Every structure is written in C-alpha cells, then in structure tokens.
Structure 1
Amino acid sequence: MKQPISITSISSISALGFQPEDIWNNYKSRNHFFSKKNGDWVAQLPSEAKQEIESLKQSNSKYKNLDDSVLFGIFSARQAVKQAGWKSSDNFGINIGSSRGATGLFEKYFEDFLDKNKAETLSSPTTTLGNISSWIAHDLQTNGPEISHSITCSTALHSLLNGVAWLKSGMCDKFLVGGSEAPLTPFTIAQMKALKIYAKYKLEDSCHAEPVEASYPNQALNLNKTENTMILGEAASTACLEKGKAENALAYIEGIGYGTELLEHNASLSTNADCFQRSMKMALGDLNPDEVDIIVTHTPGTRKGDIAEYNAIRKIFCNKIPALTTNKLQVGHSLGASGMLSVEMAILMLNHQEFLDVPFLEQQTPDKISKIMVNAVGFGGNAVSVILSK
C-alpha cells in the first residue's frame, strides 16, 4: 500500500472481557475461557461483561427488543469511538458485519411463530443483517454511510477491506469497521455439530492425553490432533480507521489481500488453501516475506482447516516461516467477529512487544515485533490477509 491507514483505536467484548488491560492479562495467562452450556463447550462473556450488555439493553426502551449481536456491536463501537476521540459530527462511515446476524432473536421469533402461526410485529426489522450497522449509526448519531454484510467467518476483515477502500477513494476520512456475533444458540451449535467440526473433547476424560492437550478443549494450531475441536464464542470487535499516519495510531495497515477458491466441500479449504496463498501474496506486495515476524492464524481448531492454512503459509514463506499464534484455543471461534479479535491480538503484541505463543508448536520467539500478518477465511473459500506494523 502506497499510503498507510492508521488504526487509531480498537475495542472488543468477548470471553476475555472488555477492558484492554484485562484482555491483555487474560491472553498472557494462556488459560482458556471456555465453559459448558447445555453440555457443550462455549466461550461466553464473563459476568461483568454480561452486566454491561444488560445495562445497555435497559438504558433505552428501543434496545430491549434488539438481539445480542446488535447490543455487542453497539457496546464495542461506543468504546472504540470514545478511545479514538471521534464525534458524531465527523460523519464517519460504519461497516460492522456478522456471519449469522440476529441468531438468538430469529430463533425465538420462529419458535413463537410455530406455536401461534403468527409472526411478532418486530420479527422482520430486528432480525435483518443490516440491523447491526443501522443501530450503531443510530446510537452514535452519525450521518455517514453505513454498511452491513456477511462473508461468513472472514466478515470482520472484509469490513476492514471495505473501510480501507472508502478511505482511499476519498469518500470518507474515517471509517468504523468490525464484526459482531452472538452464536451461542441451540440451533447454531447444532449446525456446527452436523458438520462434525464441533469439539467433543472432555477434560474429565483426559487421563490418557498429553498434559498440554488435556488443558485445551480447542486445539487450534495443534497440527497433530486426531479430531475436530472447534468451539463457538460470542464477541464483537470494532476498530477506527483513519487515512495516513495519525499521531495516535495504535498500528498501521501496510498491506491487504484477498483470495477465493472453488471448494470441493462446503466447509473445507483445498489441501494447500489456495485462497490463503492468494490473499497472503497480495498482502505482502513488494514486502520481503522475511519482514513478517508473526502470523495470527485463522485456524479454528478443525483438522483439515488448520493444516490447510499451515500448508499455505509454508508455500508462501518457504523455509522461514514467521512465528505462528492464534487466540482460538482461548476464546474459540466467534465467526464473523473473529478476524477483528485477531487484529486486536496483533495490536496488543505490537504495542507490548511480546509474542503470545501457542503450546503445540516448537518455534523461535521473535526478538523484535515490527510486522504482523492476520488471516481469516470462511465457508465459501473467501480469505483475507492484513499486514499491521507499529
């Protein structure tokens, strides 16, 4: 990219919490933040975060009928805009996407419909995907452009691509981007189970497992695992983008790339993740691959998905693979929000100059962290790679 884009703030709410210091300390603990819900592993918001969302819901009578995906997005957006010092008069653009949208509310409305054979009045307007960005724009009282989209699990990074494109076009000077997901519903989890990718690993039955494997229900980046271990998590994460090198930048976007591929199966990548090879190569541009110190991988904890991405990384970086890490072994897969959570993890590592390692790989820790690549991909073979620098 000839002109860098500044990330002047980033905010999230997830199983790690919502305060930046807590999030960093929870990452450093290397503990997982999973719990059981109806017998299934999930990554839920901690009690303090749930209280914040409940307070938001009760603060406005209009918000009582909104889905958690919208409320998570509003909460995260408020924090990001406040941190960046933006005002509603700035008329910044908004692009907050979601893979599933208002899942919980949709399931509730449909259950009521089956019972009464009649739809609730607000069932349509409160479950459309555009609901998220529209309500965030309403809450922040901005008049800039608003976009919502779903590009499955790469949604948040695609919103970042959109924000960069709008800024470079000159149509906006500032753009709020990210993703929000509230997927911990019975039907959503059942869909993942139907694909046979959801974690079945039980810690209480782990007496014969290796100690490090027994510690993590999700084993993202364990390339030797014998079963799928994906776990869903609820989360939202948003970032403020500004054109050029802002003085208050947390990080700069130096490269962006995307790629798609024809899939042999609805839920899996090709063996060498062709889409990731395309997105990483495009993001690198004229950069020497050796300049990338770390890759925050997408690796959701599935056998084929994790290995396919690793194969793609080996193809692009050859004999000098950057240090690899992921947050999914701690907070699971938040689908459309996951890419921006990975960006936040990268920014934290850049600013603390500390690498968050994974227990499954033997690799060299970078002495200095200058550039980090973040990957995301979703059903449909739509990959995005972003390079961040400090």
Structure 2
Amino acid sequence: MSIYITALASISPLGTSLNEVWESYKNDAHLLQEKNIGNQKSWVAALSDEAKQEIETLKNSDLKYKSLDDTVLFAMYASRKALEQAGWTSKDNFGVNFGSSRGATALFEKYHREFLEKDKASTLSSPTTTLGNISSWVAHDLQTQGPEISHSITCSTALHSLLNGVAWVKSGMANKFLVGGSEAPLTPFTIAQMKALKIYARGADTYPCKAFDLAKDQNTMALGEGAAVIGIENGNKENALAEIIGVGYATEVLKHNISISSDAVCFQRSMKMALEGIDPDDVDVIVMHAPGTIKGDLSEIEAIKKIFCNKIPALTTNKWKIGHSFGASGMLSIELAIAMLQKQEFIKVPFVDYTEIPKSIKKVLINAVGFGGNAVSILLQKTF
C-alpha cells in the first residue's frame, strides 16, 4: 500500500508559509539570536514577532484557549493550515498524532513557581500540562472524531508520530492521519538543563550552532521552537507532495544516559530498515539529525558511511539555522526534504565544503534520534 503526504504546514523561525520557509532556506543567514531567557543570555531561535502575533490571535479566539501552553497553540495553528491544504473535513474522521519531547514547559515552570510560593497548585495546572492535551486540543479544534494520540520519545518524537500514523493507515484502521511534533522549549529551566549537560552553544562565531561541522572543538547545540505537521493518506494521490517509501526505527543499548555509540548503531539499523528493497546509491540527499554536538554529529556521519559504502548522498541539516526544536525537529526536517523535492534544489550548510551536489533530487532520507538511543529514518520519494 502506498502512503502519500498530501499536506504540510508549520510555524517556526523560518516563517508560517511554505514560501516563507523556502525563501528563508535560500538565505545563508542563521536565525539564532542571543536573548535573555530567565537571568541568562542564550542563543535561541524564536518565532518572529509576526508569527507570535498569529499565535496570540489564535489564543484570544476562544476563551478556552487562553490557558493553553504554546506547544498546544503551535500545534493547533499548523494543523488548521494543514487541514485546509489537504481539503479534509471533520466528517473524514482523520486521526491525530502529535508528539512533544518536553510538553508544556512554560506552563509547568509557571505553575511550579506558584506552588513553591503558595504551597498549593492552580486549578488548571494538571490538565494544561499533561502531554495528551496537545492532540486532544488539536482534535477538538478541528472537530475530528478519529483517534487522537500523544507521546514523547525525546528528539525523534515527530518521526515516531509519522511511524504511528503510517501503521494506522496501512492497517486499514484509518484512511487519513494528521501527524506532527510541537515544541516550545525556550524557557529558563529547559535551557539550564541543556547547559548542565555541557552541550549548549556558547561561542560568538558567525554561526553559533556548527551542526555538521566535524572540525568544531566544542559542543554548539542551540534550541529553537515551533511545530510542523503533515497529512498522510493511502492510495495514489494526484495532489501528493511526496510518497513515503521507507520507514525504519531502532534502539541501541546505551553506555551513558545521553550518548549513542561512536558509529551510531541505532542509525545504521534504522537507515537499513528504511532502505529495504532500495539501492542505497539511489538516495540523493540525507537530512541529518546533526544536533551540533561533537559526538552526536560525528557518530551519525560514521553510521552513514557504513550504510552508504559506495556513494555518500549529499548531506545537510537545518539545526545550524533554526536550532534544535526537540520533538518538532524531525518534522521540520521532513519539511526541508519536501521543499528540496519540490524545488529540485539542494540546500547546503553554508560553512561546509561540498565537492558535489545533486543535479536532481528524487529520494531523500530523513534521520532523527533522541535520548535513549531511539532512531527513526524516513525515506521520501518525488511524486511529480
């Protein structure tokens, strides 16, 4: 059974429309800014003022929405646009699967501060910070009666949402699924946690996040925010943006809480599964996870070398530009992959020297991995 992507929408530092996103990718400038987050300055990629106003308008459109966290509002905003693009209605009873690594971080921190000050919790502190309220609010907003699922599988969350949606559609239990990831991690405690791991960007280089720069001598991960969602359907769809022709997943035994093996065994396994029945030489581009850490970037490259022995595809990532948006990052990588398939143009990492770039792009592999060594690889194919 063929599974097609028939809708794609997002809200991120890149913009709120596919045209904006593409124009932003065509520009070699990064979107990271040094901002005060709590009492410390940190490199982050935040939504533009215009995008924030769009979220504020959504928040004020319904009294019930005023108490929701940005993770939920980002997901609702992107899902509305995707539904319109796909031409679905509530009568289609499509499924919704949204994931988030951290969930309602801003609200959780707010409510916890209040608890410490007053020794009691706010009435809405529980329902507005549960992970499940992302998909449930999206389903409510779009009035679908289909299944609604939320989960957190760290930084590969969004691609796990896609895996789950594909499984539902292939099983025949649903014909359509809205899948995505949302993250709003630009909060003091979240960034403090990343800094405690000693992986956060702290330099004043032209590019603060040096994702895919294997010569870097320090970790350079930076956080970004946003949400991205796709609509998937079965059957031969004339309006398809891309076809999903391979999915892979794997988990490896860890020696440390946050690290994977030096040659990323989990990625080797997930890529091999996604490529089943496909000649690796036919893959034109890989959108890497590449978080901007020394070990993370290098281990993924080593895994790619082991799977693509004859010809390494053109490699790219978007984290140098928009930071790492945790659970949403995989779907933002899917967005980049689809954009390259549509425009037939490879988006380079500006500080990486390329000996060759593809003249045509027919197949793109997307990678994501998270704490716990859980990797996902998705293979997309051009359909137009």
TM-score range relative to shorter protein: over 0.9
**Percent identical residues:** 65
Q: 1:37 corresponds to which residue? A: 35
Q: Does 1:258 align with 2:256?
A: no
Query: Is this contact kept in 1: 2:281–2:310, CA < 8 A?
Result: no
Alignment of 1:262-281 (within 5 A): 262-281=253-272
Match of 1:314 among 296, 301, 305: 305
2: CA distance, partners of 1:361 / 1:270: 26
Give the counterpart letter for 1:363 in structure 2: T
Match of 1:290 among 273, 281, 284: 281
Q: 1:205 corresponds to which residue? A: none
Partner of 2:165: helix, strand, or coil? helix
Instruction: Give per-residue Cα distances to partners, 1:40-92, cap 9 Å, x unaligned.
Output: 00000001100000000011000000000000000010011111111011000
Question: RMSD in angstroms over aligned alpha carbons?
Answer: 0.7
2: CA distance, partners of 1:112 / 1:275: 41
Q: TM-score, normalised on structure 2?
A: 0.97
CA drift of 1:238 comes to 0.4
Number of aligned residue pairs: 377
Give the counterpart letter for 1:27 in structure 2: Y
Q: 1:384 corresponds to which residue? A: 376
Q: Does 1:88 align with 2:79?
A: no
Q: 2:11 corresponds to which residue? A: 13
Give the counterpart letter for 2:183 in structure 1: E
Structure 1 stretches lacking a partner, 5+ long: 203-213
Partner of 2:128: helix, strand, or coil? coil
CA drift of 1:289 comes to 0.2
Partner of 1:377: helix, strand, or coil? strand
Q: 1:375 corresponds to which residue? A: 367
Q: Does 1:129 align with 2:138?
A: no
Q: 1:77 corresponds to which residue? A: 79
1: CA distance, partners of 2:359 / 2:19: 23
1: CA distance, partners of 2:339 / 2:320: 17
2: CA distance, partners of 1:296 / 1:176: 22
Alignment of 1:1-390 (within 5 A): 3-38=1-36, 39-202=41-204, 214-358=205-349, 359-390=351-382
Query: Is this contact kept in 1: 2:271–2:377, CA < 8 A?
Result: yes
Give the counterpart letter for 1:263 in structure 2: L
CA drift of 1:20 comes to 1.0
CA drift of 1:31 comes to 1.1
Partner of 2:26: helix, strand, or coil? helix
Query: Is this contact kept in 2: 1:70–1:135, CA < 8 A?
Result: yes
Query: Is this contact kept in 1: 2:346–2:358, CA < 8 A?
Result: yes
Instruction: Give per-residue Cα distances to partners, 1:212-254, cap 9 Å, x unaligned.
Output: xx32110100011000000000110000000122110000000
1: CA distance, partners of 2:60 / 2:130: 22
Q: 1:209 corresponds to which residue? A: none
2: CA distance, partners of 1:266 / 1:30: 34
Instruction: Give per-residue Cα distances to partners, 1:353-384, cap 9 Å, x unaligned.
Output: 00001122323110110000000000000000
CA drift of 1:36 comes to 1.6
Q: Which runs of 4+ in 1 moved over 3 A?
A: none
Give the counterpart letter for 1:81 in structure 2: L
CA drift of 1:306 comes to 0.2
1: CA distance, partners of 2:354 / 2:217: 19
2: CA distance, partners of 1:152 / 1:240: 22
* Residues 199 and 384 (structure 1), Cα distance of their counterparts in 2 relative to 1, 3 Å cut: same
1: CA distance, partners of 2:366 / 2:28: 19
Give the counterpart letter for 1:351 in structure 2: Q
CA drift of 1:190 comes to 0.2
Query: Is this contact kept in 2: 1:373–1:385, CA < 8 A?
Result: yes
Which has the higher mean CA deviation after the structures are superposed, 129-138 or 361-370? 361-370
Instruction: Give per-residue Cα distances to partners, 1:306-362, cap 9 Å, x unaligned.
Output: 000000000000131000000100000000000000000000000000000112232
Structure 2 stretches lacking a partner, 5+ long: none
2: CA distance, partners of 1:318 / 1:30: 30
Partner of 2:224: helix, strand, or coil? coil
Give the counterpart letter for 1:285 in structure 2: E
Q: TM-score, normalised on structure 1?
A: 0.96
Instruction: Give per-residue Cα distances to partners, 1:88-137, cap 9 Å, x unaligned.
Output: 11000000000000000000000000000000000000000001000000
Instruction: Give per-residue Cα distances to partners, 1:248-304, cap 9 Å, x unaligned.
Output: 000000000001101111111100000000000000001000010000000000000
Partner of 2:331: helix, strand, or coil? helix
Query: Is this contact kept in 2: 1:221–1:361, CA < 8 A?
Result: no
Partner of 2:378: helix, strand, or coil? strand
